[in-house]
Amino acid sequence: MAKIAVLGAGYVGITSAACFAYLDHQIMVSDINESRIAQLDRGECPIIEAGLGELLVEGISRGNLHFTVDNNLAVSSADFVFVCLPTPQGENGVADTSYVQKAIRGVASQLKSGAIVVTKSTVPVGSTKIIEEALNRSDVAVVSNPEFLREGSAVDDFLNPDRVVVGSTDVNAAQKVAGLYSKLNTKIFLTDPASAETIKYAANAFLATKISYINAIAAVCEGVGADVLAVIEGIGSDRRIGRSFLNPGPGWGGSCFPKDTKALVKIAESGGYDFALLRGVIEVNEQQYDRVAHKILNVTRSHSEVLQVCVLGLTFKAGTDDLRDSPSLLVIQKLRNAGAEVRAFDPTVSPPNSNLDGIVLCNSAQSAASGADVIAILTEWPEFMELRPVDFFKIVRTPNVVDARNLLNRENWLGAGLSYRDVGR
C-alpha cells in the first residue's frame, strides 16, 4: 500500500484518487476549493462521472481516502505526489503550467526524501524538467504519467486502461510508479519524460484527426449522394483503421481536444516543424461548427419571422455535465449572431444557468420545442432517441429537424411529416 497525495480535485484528480483508493492505496486529496473539499469529505461527488460516487463512498468508509485544503498536509507523509492541476490554454497557445509550478514550489520543502512527484496534468513537452527546477530537490524524482481518461467513462478508463505510460530519467522511480498499477491487467510503457508527454498530445491529436476526417468525409458524402454511415462501416471494419472515433457530429470540443491540438501545433513549431496536417484538422473542425449552424439556419419555412431554434443537448458530449468548449454552445453562438432565438434543453443543465446568457433554458425537450421552426440535436444523449415525433409535430411552428449527431431514427421522423436532415447522408 502506497501513500499518495493528489493535488487538484478536478475530474482527473478525483477519479485517480478514488481509483487508487480502490486499488488499496492510502490517498489524501488536496484542493484550494474549500466547498468542493467539504463536499467530497461528505462523500458527495461534485461531478457527473459513472461509478465515481460509489468509489468515493467506499474509499472514505474503508478509511483510505481523505481530503484537505492544505497541500502541505497532503504531501508531508506521501511516497507519491500526483499533480492533477489545471493547465489551461496560455496566451501563446501552449498549456499554461503556472498552477503546477506554483503548487510544486509551495510544497517542495515539505516532501519527504525519496518521494516521487508524478505529473498527470497534460503539460507541454519539457515540463518534467521545469518541474524538477521548481522543486529544486535532488532527493525527489519527477515522473510523467499522462492520463487518458474520457469524461463520463473516466473510472472505467482508469481501471481498464489500454496502457499506462510512465516517463522518467530515473528508472527506479518509474518502476515504483508503474507498481501503483500492478493490480491492473494492462501494458505499461516506460519511456523518457519527453516521449511520455508527447504520447499524450499525439493521442488526443490523432483522435481529433479521426473525427475531423470523418466530418470531412461526411461533407463529401452529402455532395456526392453517399451515406456516411455505410462508409464508416466499410472503412471501420478495416482493422488498420478501426470503427471508433468515427462518428460525425457538430465538431469536436470539450476541455481537452481544442486546447491540446492547438498546443501541439505550438510545440511542433518550437521544435522547428510546421504541423500543417494538425492545423488542417483544427480548421476542418471550425468549419464543421459553421456547416451545422448553416444547416439549422437554412431550414425551409414559410414565414419571415425571427427563426426559433430548439436545441437539444448543450454539453460537449453525452454522459457529462461539462459545457467547456462545447460544440453545441459554439453553434448556438453562430445561430444567435445570425439573429435566431434559441430555446434549449439538456438533461444535465438546469435553469437558471448564468453561463448560458441569451439562451432560454427549458426543463424538457417538449418545452424547448414549443413554437420552434427547427429542432437541432447537438449532443448525443441516448434519451433523445426515445422522443416521439408525434409529440413534437403538433407543438412546433415549422416541422424541421437537424440531427447533427445522426442520433434519431430518420424514417420515424420523416414518416411523421417532419423534414429531417442529418450529417453525411
CA gap 193, 366 in Å, rounded: 52
- Name which of residues 96 to 115 contact ligand UGA (CB under 6 A): none
Determine the 3-state secondary structure of 61 from DSSP.
helix
DSSP structure class, residue 225: T
Candidates 27, 65, 107, 149: give the one binding ligand UGA (CB under 6 A): 149
- Concatenated DSSP letters of 150-196: PTTSHHHHHHS-SEEEEE-S-HHHHHHHHHTTTTS-SEEEEE-HHHH
Beta bridge partners, 143, equal 118
> How many residues make contact with ligand UGA (CB under 6 A)?
22
Cis peptide before 351 (omega within 30 of 0): no
Do residues 16 and 147 lie in contact, with contact meaning Cβ atoms separated by under 8 Å?
yes
What is the closest distance, in whole angstroms, from the C-beta atom of residue 264 to ligand UGA in the complex? Answer: 12
* Subset of 385-424 contacting ligand UGA (CB under 6 A): none
Find, among 191, 215, 212, 74, the residue nearest to 143 by Cα: 191
Asked if residue 46 binds ligand UGA (CB under 6 A), the reply is: no
Residue with Cβ nearer ligand UGA (150 or 336): 150
CB of 280 to ligand UGA, least distance (A): 17
Instruction: Indicate if 256 belongs to the active site.
Output: yes
Least spacing, CB of residue 168 vs ligand UGA, in Å: 20
Q: Does the protein bind ligand UGA through residue 327 (CB under 6 A)? A: yes
> Residues 20, 67, 213, 252: which binds ligand UGA (CB under 6 A)?
252
Note whether 257 binds ligand UGA by CB under 6 A: yes
How many other C-beta atoms can be found within 10 angstroms of the C-beta atom of residue 150? Answer: 16
CA–CA gap between residue 353 and residue 412 (Å, rounded) = 33
Kindly state the DSSP code that residue 363 receives in the 8-state scheme: S
For residues 77 and 107, give the distance between their C-alpha atoms in angstroms, rounded to a whole number.
12
Spatial CA neighbour of 210 closest among 243, 245, 239: 245
For ligand UGA, the closer CB: 27 or 246: 246
- CB of 330 vs ligand UGA, minimal distance in Å: 10
Secondary structure (3-state) at 262? helix
End-to-end CA distance of the chain: 54
Do 116 and 80 meet the contact criterion of CB atoms below 8 Å apart?
Answer: yes
31 or 260, CB closer to ligand UGA?
260
99, 148, 189, 393: which one contacts ligand UGA (CB under 6 A)? 148
Q: Does 119 contact ligand UGA by CB under 6 A?
A: no
Catalytic annotation, pick one of 19, 84, 221, 256: 256
Least distance between ligand UGA and beta carbon 246 (Å): 6
Rounded CA separation 354/187 (Å): 44
Q: Give the one residue of 2, 89, 186, 245 binding ligand UGA; rule: CB under 6 A.
A: 245
We find the least distance from the C-beta atom of residue 151 to ligand UGA, in angstroms, to be 4
Tell whether residue 247 is a contact of ligand UGA (CB under 6 A).
yes
The one segment of 92-100, 242-250, 354-362, 366-374 that binds ligand UGA by CB under 6 A: 242-250
Q: Which of 96, 151, 197, 346: binder of ligand UGA (CB under 6 A)?
A: 151
Which position among 105, 137, 150, 266 is part of the footprint of ligand UGA (CB under 6 A)?
150
Q: For residues 221 and 229, is the Cβ–Cβ distance under 8 A?
A: no
As annotated, the active-site residues are: 256
Rule CB under 6 A: which residues touch ligand UGA? 122, 147-151, 204, 207, 211, 245-247, 249, 252-254, 256-257, 260, 316-317, 327
